[in-house]
Amino acid sequence: MTAQLIDGNALARQVRAEVADRVQALKARGVEPRLTVILVGEDPASQVYTRNKVADSEQTGLQATLERYPAELPEADLLARIRQLNDDAGVHGILVQLPLPRHMDAHRVIETIAPAKDVDGFHVASAGALMVGQPGFRPCTPYGCMRMLESIGVDLKGKHAVVIGRSNIVGKPMAMMLLGANATVTICHSGTRDLKAQTLQADVVVAAVGKRNMLTADMVKPGAVVIDVGMNRDDAGKLCGDVDFDGVREVAGWITPVPGGVGPMTRAMLLVNTIEAAEKAPPRGA
């Protein structure tokens, strides 16, 4: 069996087109949806990510501003700037690019963002809303994975999903979303005794570890859906995921490639969260 590909680029294009329509609808009502992205320091990967986030936004008609600050910026100044943006009715989404310089407490910084503008979905209020099944911003990566699962029409009810990784931004919210869709969910991590025994039972496997080739063909049940969140480099420096793609695609029913899978969907879901923030914002002056 050769797995069918879940094409993240194609799906992301569709999502961006939907967002662009919603942007036009808001503009027709006199609302200019706006995202502010904050980058502190010179981390090369963060510079690329933030540039992409602004470019993606502008492509859909969303206004986006990148604010750059030196790595030495005192944390108090960053918190003060976030509070200003919280109070600015013209700004609908605020995203602080992680990681932050070592002298800053990332948790304190994220908690300073108003939950109504937390388009990354990392605020404790957003995490709590997900936990109790209430509306709120969902972290973009697992949100994108759910959209990919939806796109192939898989009914998650009663399916066994195994999530490998338990980070606050990917693994845990992924597990919560799968649970919300009535899957039976197992969360694996570095302390899991027999990972293969778990993954072999999975109808859906989400690999979110950050280790190349950590999911191999012998660990996958025939026909399973395999979502590869990992972002690693192979020996030639080429981007690759956590999944041994060539091997696993011979066993799985569906598989996401890296690149061209979860990455573009993560970017697209930030736009979905931002337009949603703008749609829900009280009118200016209200």
Binder among 33, 41, 61, 263 for ligand NDP (CB under 6 A): 263
**CA pair distance 67, 37, nearest whole angstrom:** 6
Binder among 205, 262, 268, 272 for ligand NDP (CB under 6 A): 262
Render 78-96 in DSSP notation, one character per residue. Answer: HHHHHHHHHH-TT--EEEE
**CA pair distance 157, 238, nearest whole angstrom:** 36
Binder among 22, 138, 166, 249 for ligand NDP (CB under 6 A): 166
Q: Is 195 in the site for ligand NDP (CB under 6 A)?
A: yes
Count of Cβ atoms closer than 10 Å to residue 159 Cβ: 19
Amino acid in position 57: S
Residue with structure tokens 């338990």? 166
Q: Is 189 in the site for ligand NDP (CB under 6 A)?
A: yes
- Which of left, alpha, beta for 265 (phi over 0: left; psi -120 to 50: alpha)? alpha
Binder among 192, 201, 213, 216 for ligand NDP (CB under 6 A): 192
The nearer residue to ligand NDP, 41 or 264, going by C-beta atoms, is 264
Q: How many residues does the chain have?
A: 286
Determine contact, residues 221/162, Cβ cutoff 8 Å: no
The nearer residue to ligand NDP, 36 or 266, going by C-beta atoms, is 266
| Shortest distance in whole angstroms from residue 268 CB to ligand NDP | 10
Instruction: Report which of 149, 164, 176, 160 is spatially closest to residue 229, judged by C-alpha positions.
Output: 164
| Shortest distance in whole angstroms from residue 144 CB to ligand NDP | 7
| Shortest distance in whole angstroms from residue 281 CB to ligand NDP | 26
**CA pair distance 141, 16, nearest whole angstrom:** 15
Please classify residue 153 by burial: count the beta carbons closer than 10 Å to its beta carbon, then call 0-12 exposed, 13-18 middle and 19+ buried.
exposed
120 is a catalytic site residue? yes
Binder among 70, 135, 158, 191 for ligand NDP (CB under 6 A): 191
| Shortest distance in whole angstroms from residue 213 CB to ligand NDP | 11
**CA pair distance 254, 121, nearest whole angstrom:** 27
172 is a catalytic site residue? no
**CA pair distance 15, 245, nearest whole angstrom:** 25
Of 23-31, 186-194, 218-226, 244-252, the segment contacting ligand NDP by CB under 6 A is 186-194
Q: Is 208 in the site for ligand NDP (CB under 6 A)?
A: yes
Q: Considering 53, 159, 172, 221, which one is annotated as catalytic?
A: 53
> Which phi and psi (to 5°) does residue 243 adopt?
-100, 140
160-164 and 204-207 strand pairing: parallel
Q: Considering 56, 97, 203, 221, which one is annotated as catalytic?
A: 97
Size of the site for ligand NDP (CB under 6 A): 26
Binder among 96, 170, 220, 243 for ligand NDP (CB under 6 A): 170
The nearer residue to ligand NDP, 26 or 187, going by C-beta atoms, is 187
Give residues in contact with ligand NDP (CB under 6 A): 141, 164-167, 169-171, 188-192, 195, 208-211, 214, 229-232, 262-263, 266
Catalytic center residues: 53, 97, 120
